[in-house]
Amino acid sequence: MMKKATILSLFSILILGIYSFTFQTKDGGDRLIGVWEPSNGRARVKINKIGSKYFGKIVWLKEPKDPVSGKPKTDKNNPDESMRNVPLRGYRMLKDFIYKGDDVWEEGTIYDPLNGSTYNCTIKMTNKNTLDIRGYIGVSALGRTDVWKRLKIKKKKGRKRGRK
Amino acid sequence: MRNMKNVRTLSALAILLFLGSPLYSQTDTTDYEDEEDYSMYDDIDFADEAAKRYASPKIIGISPSKLIYLGYDYQGPYEMQFDGLDNTAGDTFTANSTTGIRLGCSIPVISRNSIVWQMGFNYWETHFNGTPSNLNNEASQSHQNTFRTTGINTTLFKPLGEEQFILFQGSADLNGDYTFSDLMPLKYLKYSAAALWGKRPNDRTQWGIGLARTYRVGELNYIPIVMYNWTDVENKWGTEILFPARANVRRTINPRNMVFAGFELQGQSYRLYNDVNLRSQDLEIRRGEIRLRMEYQFSIKDFLWISAQAGYRINYRYTTDYLPDGKEIYRAFGLLKDDPYVMDNNITNPWYMNVSLNLVSP
């Protein structure tokens, strides 16, 4: 009886070990994690993983302040009135991406703060430092692709880093 | 007893490993905006190279372009006066209204920041309601039929760098009073095109100059064109101009509600083809009109927009030309040729309205 339990436990460890090894490597799509800049250079977006999905938030704006009020830019074009005072820096503009294999992340959305619209979106990594981001309406054919490039954060000594 | 201890230890290890697996390990479950040190993103380099930057086809605040539209056009009553043709008498009558659907699309074939190429289709029709049945000549009688425009179009936007771009638009249309059971031959296709070189010096300004081959004044012409799109720093006011085709001042209430005031030049050359075997001549109605209007565009849900416009339709030309086999007469506003029109008709000016449902572009 004891022998059977021991074998069962060892088998569980083996299976879970293989499972952990498989999913804790970067091959699960985590190479998307990082800081990226759209081709227009107006913003920088940090992509993180929450659970099994990927999200991206604005961490830098070329023009961080509203040219009229002089205050930090907020999401003033959001159709939801309650969101219009939310700062754009820190705003999650990429949401709910799932890694589908072959360097493709799908089922996500991208938000355009310039007009307050949210589009369906797919991400294709064309090389380790380049993304094709395609925002579209309903079907992929009704969309537009932008090229984003990976940025490399300089690690400074003594800097208190934000949590990932 | 010792075996039991081993089993417990191994089981605990298994549970720990399982809990340590990504199924339960969340890299980020909360928003840390307040804790993030954003200054670390100020001075930052590309991992290899920056993306090549291209001039965008749009500027901040510009109205969204239409991917698919379905509309209805209505002109109020107006009087039509037709000259006599050969030995027939002229005609004068009142069109109670002019109505018709307008539908079309312009779908991206390639849409990247380095190039945008779209292909589309358009179908417009015009019914002249109340046209009498006892008219004297072929040109006026043709208004008992429906005038149609069926065509395909293409648009190419090619950035030449961060600021400069070229824009090309082309279309091929069948215009006439044909029916779909007796479609006109393709030799009567009318080809229009425009090519423009432009600059986008900043995110709020875009301008360009070019040349167009157009039927907007009713007959074939080659005319210079000027683009000027601009949005003010408060995103309240702007212009959307592609002169002389259209020019509008834009007032933005918010990015989903916009009001426009301006004009559009519309026109076509319609082949009189209905019952062509009964006709004695190869005639085309040369229609050109200026539409002074106000327009309200707004989103009803996400990317579905309504456009409602109302204004005054001013007749620019409603002449009739004799064009055997569809061969054109290029008059260049009378500078190159001064061939007389076979009929020099006239129509009065009504109020009009146009409503359309649009799927707009990202």
pLDDT top residue among B183 and B129: B129
CB atoms A50 and B303 under 8 Å: no
Residues of chain B found within 8 Å of residue A63, distances taken between Cβ atoms = none
Q: What is the dihedral of CA A151, A156, A159, A160, to 10 degrees?
A: 40
Sign of CA dihedral B177, B180, B181, B182: positive
Residue B195 has pLDDT above 80, yes or no: yes
ipTM: 0.78
Radius of gyration of chain A measured on its C-alpha atoms: 20
Greatest mean pLDDT range, A83-87, B31-35, B215-219, B247-251:
B247-251
CB pair distance less than 8 Å for A136 and B362 = yes
Q: Is the pLDDT of residue B340 over 70?
A: yes
Mean pLDDT of the region B259-266: 97
Greater model confidence, A7 or B195: B195
Q: Under an 8 A CB cutoff, do B112 and A141 touch?
A: no
How far A28 CA lies from chain B's nearest CA (Å)? 10
**pLDDT band for position B289 (50/70/90)?**
very high
pLDDT for B324 equals 85
Stretch B214-220: mean pLDDT, rounded? Answer: 91
C-beta atoms of B233 and A68 within 8 A:
yes
- Tens of pLDDT, residues A123-138: 999 999 999 999 999 8
The angle formed by the CA atoms of residues B17, B23 and B28, to the nearest 5 degrees, is 110
Closest chain B residue to the Cα of A148, Cα to Cα: B51
CB distance B204 to B231 below 8 Å: yes
Letter for the amino acid at A90?
A: G
Binning pLDDT at 50, 70 and 90, where does residue B241 land? Answer: very high
Which residues in chain B are contacts of A129 at CB distance < 8 A? 46-48
**Cβ-based contacts of A19 with chain B (< 8 Å):** 21
Residue B349 near residue B313 (C-beta atoms within 8 A): yes
Residue among B13, B40, B50 whose CB faces A153 most closely: B40
Question: H/E/C letters for each residue in B266-288?
Answer: EEEEEECCCCHHHCCCCEEEEEE
- B17, B43, B49 member nearest A16 (Cβ): B17
Q: Cβ–Cβ of B256/A48 closer than 8 Å?
A: no
User: pLDDT tens-digit profile of A87-108?
Assistant: 999 999 999 999 999 999 999 9
Query: Rounded to the nearest 5 degrees, what angle is found at the Cα of A42, between the Cα atoms of A41 and A45?
Result: 85
Q: What is the pLDDT of residue A38?
A: 94
Mean pLDDT for B136-157 is: 94
User: How many contacts (CB atoms, under 8 Å) link A and B?
Assistant: 191
Residues found in chain B: 362
Q: Provide the pLDDT confidence category of residue B86 given band limits of 50, 70 and 90.
A: confident
**Domains of chain A from N-terminus onward:** 29-151 (2.40.128.520)
Q: Please tell me the predicted confidence (pLDDT) of residue B32.
A: 45
Bridge partners of residue B111, in order along the sequence: B116
DSSP state letter for B247? E
Task: Assess whether pLDDT exceeds 60 at residue B215.
Answer: yes
Using a CB-CB cut-off of 8 Å, the residues of chain B touching A88 are: none
**Residue B47 forms contact with A (CB below 8 Å):** yes
Chain A neighbors of B112, CB-CB under 8 A: 144-147
Stretch B13-31: mean pLDDT: 40
The DSSP letter of residue B145 is S
Above 60 in pLDDT, residue B114? yes
For residue A10, the chain B residues in CB contact (below 8 A) are 10
Mean pLDDT of the region B53-72: 95
Q: Rounded to whole angstroms, how far apart are CA atoms B204 and B199?
A: 11
pLDDT given for residue B247 in this prediction:
98
DSSP one-letter code for A65: B
Determine the average pLDDT of the residues in B300-324: 94
Task: Round to whole Å and give the CA distance between B284 and B282.
Answer: 7
Does the CA dihedral B203-B300-B247-B287 come out positive or negative? positive
At residue B40, the pLDDT reads 86
For the whole model, what pTM was predicted?
A: 0.84
Chain B 128-167, CB below 8 Å of chain A: which residues? none
Could you report the per-residue pLDDT of A1-52, keeping only the tens digit for each? 556 666 656 555 555 444 444 444 455 799 999 999 999 889 999 999 999 9
Whether B280 and chain A come into contact, CB under 8 Å, resolves to no
Residue type, B184: M
